[in-house]
Structure 1
Amino acid sequence: MEFTDYDTRVAAYAVVVDGEPGAERVLLALWNEAEEPRWTLPGGGVELRETVEDGAVREVREESGYDVELTGLLGVHSYVIPPSRRFVRTRRPMKALRVVFGARVVGGSLTREIGGTTDEARWFDLAEVSALPQVGLVEIGLEMWQRAQQARR
């Protein structure tokens, strides 16, 4: 299949972790577009004339109220969504390209997004994340973050 035969969505996300080693917590946002709300990394679609970096910072601010500084690229993940699973009626599959950054809070305060795709943002201890209803991106992003932490040691 040629690239002109499918749609592409570029999105940027942030893994925002704070706390001391062994007592870290991560910022997640409750995504409300699924049948059952699920926790996800703060982030989302990058606008046409926006860099992925600016998109990640903007999305974290919109979904959580926090201003963040990106600490580095953690990785890129892609997958294909068949037409039957898309939110928009279409016969075209979509390739979702997700750019994941590490980030740290530099300002703002925790708030809820109004009128967006998330209902709230909340800090969770890393140890409790696996028990949450979540999208697959949470595990993917945390694995990327853990690899980056190990590389720094």
Structure 2
Amino acid sequence: MRRHDVVAEETVEFTEYDTRLAAYAVVSDGEHILLTWFNGSTPSWTLPGGGVEFHESVEEAVVREVREETGYEVELDAPLTTHSFTRPAGDGRRPVKSVRVLFGARVVGGELGTTEVGGTTDFAAWVPLDEVPLDAPTPEIVRLAVEHVRSGRGA
């Protein structure tokens, strides 16, 4: 058995796990928030965004992901917050630490419509803030985004 399969999480060194870096946009008009429908293992609303490719900056990745998943061109504001979680090793995989950066953003062009083909996003929509389902299985990043919008701290 490999070392990372048997040790406690707090003793796993950075060389013993994989990191997934992702970036997401918080786009809101104050009453609605732009969300995308994730069709993966647990379908749910999520923020437009996703994994940062090796050759991209975090900012380039979120702009690309928003365009693919929503049809919109966006201009980014400063990062709002970060969120991370871990997934333990299993089924021959190393442990993973996922790091997500949430940016405030505003639409500067394009029109609503998913252009991603064969991806994990089926469609995007402007969802009223009061109708965002904040119960499970809504991802934590959606809760954080709604909190930022409602507090006036983001998007």
Give the TM-score range, shorter chain: 0.7 to 0.9
Change (3 A) 1:145 1:93: farther
CA deviation vs aligned residue, 1:82-130 (integer Å, no higher than 9, x gap): 234xxxx533110000000000000000112321111000110111103
Aligned-partner SS, 2:40: coil
**What letter matches 1:8 in structure 2?**
T
- Distance, in Å, in 1 between the alignment partners of 2:49 and 2:153 is 24
Deviation at 1:150, TM superposition (A): 4.7
**What letter matches 1:32 in structure 2?**
N
Out of 109, 112, 127, which is 1:110 matched to? 112
Larger radius of gyration: 2
- Distance, in Å, in 1 between the alignment partners of 2:138 and 2:125 is 13
- Residue in 1 that maps onto 2:132: 129
CA deviation vs aligned residue, 1:26-85 (integer Å, no higher than 9, x gap): 0000011124x101000000011211111111100000000000122101111101234x
TM-score w.r.t. structure 1 length?
0.84
**What letter matches 2:25 in structure 1?**
A
Change (3 A) 1:150 1:105: closer
**Structure 1: any 5+ residue segments left out of the alignment?**
none
Asked if the contact 1:77–1:99 (Cα under 8 Å) also holds between the matched residues in 2, the reply is: yes
Query: Aligned pair 1:141/2:145, yes or no?
Result: yes
Query: Equivalent pairs: percent with the same residue?
Result: 55
Asked if the contact 1:11–1:96 (Cα under 8 Å) also holds between the matched residues in 2, the reply is: yes
Asked if the contact 2:50–2:62 (Cα under 8 Å) also holds between the matched residues in 1, the reply is: yes
* Cα RMSD, aligned residues only: 1.9
Instruction: Provide the aligned length of Structure 1 versus Structure 2.
Output: 141
**What letter matches 1:7 in structure 2?**
D
Q: Map 1:75-86 onto structure 2 (within 5 A).
A: 75-84=81-90
Aligned-partner SS, 1:83: coil
Asked if the contact 1:74–1:145 (Cα under 8 Å) also holds between the matched residues in 2, the reply is: no
- Residue in 1 that maps onto 2:47: 41
Query: Aligned pair 1:18/2:29, yes or no?
Result: yes
TM-score w.r.t. structure 2 length?
0.83
Asked if the contact 2:134–2:143 (Cα under 8 Å) also holds between the matched residues in 1, the reply is: no
